[in-house]
Chain A
Amino acid sequence: MSSTPFLSVRDLRVHFSTEDGMVKAVDGLSFDLAHGKTLGIVGESGSGKSVTNLAVLGLHHPDHTEVSGEILLDGQDLLTATERELERLRGNKMAMIFQDALASLSPYHSIGRQIGETYRKHTGASKRDARARAVEMLRKVGIPQPDLRVDDYPHQFSGGMRQRAMIAMALVCNPELLIADEPTTALDVTVQAQIMDLLKELQQETGTSIIFITHDLGVIADIADDVLVMYGGKCVERGTKQEVLRAPQHPYTWGLLGSMPTLEGDVDVPLSPIPGTPPSLLNPPTGCRFHPRCTFAEQVGGGRCAAEQPPLELVEGRGAACHLTGEQRARFSADRAAARAH
């Protein structure tokens, strides 16, 4: 935490031009990630969480995307880097795993070839060495009989095995940054638990920094060190996992927690959903983007929430973008916790 962070994103903006107008998918996002740590990014569809990470890898189509701000990976600005430089980093220093492993693996090439390809591209290894490395990686991620399965095609793998193969492919060059975009969402719970544990074990072994994108706060609680909550292309709350889950500060985070049924809560207490629907990024609400759905906007009063964007003020990496005073937040947060404990 003391030295410069491994990954530093400052005022990131990702805007898409579409036929209907400019979509501000990410609008002024900043965060840091230290070596060996895991940052969990939570948000619902359209919150900009995936878009952010494609921007880190530089995978947005330059023709209809405007990316601005600063993304420093180990001091190197990725937004000013050339395509060649990015190609050298992708799959090597930074890698990504995606939600839908079946769609994300090429159906036309064997698993071994797809893993080996990354290795060959970045190390110049021979075909033979790359294959051996692929077998080694498959063994590492827990694929039984890796020396036989290496020649299989993705469709011959089960869902969980495909996600393991994706992880093997992403980790083949020992990346320092791994971006995991909802890697377990499409999996069954028992398989999800396996994959999460695997990622944690592998991280301990390799010291990779992870950005873990999900909509599931339970998954965040399991894997993240720090949490960033996104809503409508902006960060609404940041802090360590303990801080955010124990004493959330933003009404949206309260809403998310209140919407989630748990295995422990009182079943007779109805869930407290967030009213309304997520904002349109084409015409986002004025002021705080959450205000049309926020039940606390009156507490702020004076129509401030609709008029003014609340800034994200951070104290030692902790804070929320909300017009409620610190005192109010603490009180409502405590009320909420008490209501849930019943």
Chain B
Amino acid sequence: MSSTTPLLDVAGLTKHFPIMGGFPIRRKIGAVQAVDGLDFSVAEGESLGLVGESGCGKSTTGRLITRLLEPTGGRISYRGKDISHASRRELAPIRSEIQMIFQDPYASLNPRQTVGKIISGPMEINDVNPPGGREKRVRELLETVGLNPEHYNRFPHEFSGGQRQRIGVARALALEPKLIVADEPVSALDVSIQAQVVNLLQKLQQELGIAFVFIAHDLAVVRHFSQRVAVMYLGRIVEIADRDELYGNPRHPYTRALLSAVPEVSPDDTPTRERIRLAGDVPSPVNPPSGCRFRTRCWKATDKCASETPPLARVDGSRAGHLTACHYPEAAGDPGEEIILDPGIAAAGSGTDTVVAKD
């Protein structure tokens, strides 16, 4: 990262959703700690990938950045301006620069509006009058995202899922944004269509210089799209690094487990990747584990992990900019042994695959 202010800078970003209850008077009795102290930044034109499993807070993060949600704590700066608690009016000029693409191409388009109306909507709201008129601009946008400009007057239901996602992209592009937050933009699409949309987004990023926060659970898609990747677990970033570093030299046990779990498209029965099988699911964000939140599923956890939250910092053997939140980071580069923590697999196994724990 250069010394200039990044496009987006997030420090200590926190969002807790209150849980109401109690008797006789309803009050806050707890909180879903959806996002708990995130630090990251996005440079102009850069694509940052946010990966993690369900409940890790990646979508909430996206909604905080676009200020669809107001953070409970921390700071979001856009071009050096603090927008964490900005009012609607203060946000207005920024809203046009930060756009969002949603996961569900069916639910995120108004079925009663024509495509032209949907895409020109942001221009109308922000009173933007492009040269040549809005309709001309919409037609250009349709062409940019690979749709027929003649389809201006059609309705969303006349399009397939992939085409609808293109409409969503065109809408996001209408105000010439500097930053697009894409929340699982391809996960609802078929594989062959997924690739079309990924390529489209990639083209936009390169040609228009738009920065992306790309939120997805699919590690391979994120790897393909993002220059820098942050791995989230239960509301926190556990590791963040450049693409090659993160995928080639993961230091956090969770990142390792996550990567090893991605099925390989390989015809051979002997896997080339290490095999780590965690036990159980992600714990509830209502009562997250103390200290390191991954410790309940980690094979290396000690008492220290329960009492001390590991800071997100550079660990020995990592390159600059590669930050890992772990007390016992994995050794650089070495593919580990097989680690099977799952009782079902361990029990059903022939005996060779019983619990193996590295120290």
Contact = CB atoms under 8 A, between A and B. Distances in A.
A–B direct contact (CB < 8 Å) = yes
Interface in B177-197: 190-196
Interface string B327-350: 000000000000000111111111
Given A261-B198, A277-B163, A194 B266 contact: no
A256 B198 CA distance: 14
B342 A259 contact: no
B150 interface: no
Given A190-B257, A261-B221, A219 B263 contact: yes
Contacts of A44: 190-193
A274 B223 contact: no
Contact of B220 (A242, A257, A261, A272): A261
B57 interface: no
Q: How big is the B interface, by class?
A: 35 or more
B192 A188 contact: no
B235 interface: no
B59 to A, nearest CB: 14
B281 A161 contact: yes
Interface in A138-162: 139-144, 158-161
B345 A255 contact: no
Interface string B284-324: 00000000000000000000000000000000000000000
Contact of B192 (A160, A192, A256): A256
Contact of A197 (B259, B282, B345): B345
A219 B193 CA distance: 19
B15 interface: no
A221 B258 contact: no
B224 A272 contact: no
Nearest to A167: B344
Contacts of A219: 263
A125 interface: no
In this complex, the member of B258, B266, B277, B343 whose beta carbon has the largest number of chain A beta carbons within 10 angstroms is B266
A106 interface: no
B58 to A, nearest CB: 12
A218 B262 contact: yes
| Candidate in A144, A164, A201 with the most chain B CB atoms within 10 angstroms | A201
Given A160-B280, A205-B348, A144 B343 contact: yes
Nearest to A252: B192
Q: Would you call the interface of chain B mostly helix, strand, loop, or mixed?
A: helix
A201 B349 contact: yes
B310 to A, nearest CB: 20
Interface in A233-277: 241-242, 244-246, 255-263, 265, 267, 270-275, 277
Contacts of A263: 219-220, 223, 247, 259, 262, 264
A335 interface: no
Nearest to B260: A193
B153 interface: no
A260 B265 contact: yes
A271 B196 CA distance: 8
A204 interface: yes
B346 to A, nearest CB: 8
A221 B224 contact: no
A189 B261 contact: yes
B267 interface: yes
A221 B263 contact: yes
B192 A255 contact: yes
A275 B190 CA distance: 12
Contacts of B176: none
Contacts of B223: 261, 263, 267
B267 A189 contact: no
A194 B277 contact: yes
A215 B263 contact: no
B280 A158 contact: yes
Contacts of A295: none
Contacts of A192: 261, 263
Given A160-B280, A245-B266, A260 B220 contact: yes
Contacts of B54: 159, 188
Given A267-B243, A271-B195, A189 B219 contact: yes
Interface string A113-151: 000000000000000000000000001111110000000
A72 interface: no
A191 interface: yes
Contact of B196 (A257, A273, A278): A273
A217 interface: yes
Nearest to A43: B190
B228 to A, nearest CB: 12
A140 B344 contact: yes
A241 B220 contact: no
Contacts of A277: 160, 162-163, 193
Contacts of B193: 44, 273, 277
A257 B162 contact: no
Contacts of B262: 189, 218, 263
6 contacts: A189-B261, A221-B265, A242-B268, A263-B262, A267-B223, A267-B224
Interface pairs A-B: 9 shortest CB-CB = A142-B344, A218-B263, A273-B195, A259-B195, A201-B348, A193-B261, A188-B53, A245-B267, A261-B224
Given A140-B348, A267-B243, 6 more contacts: A142-B343, A188-B282, A189-B53, A221-B267, A241-B267, A273-B196
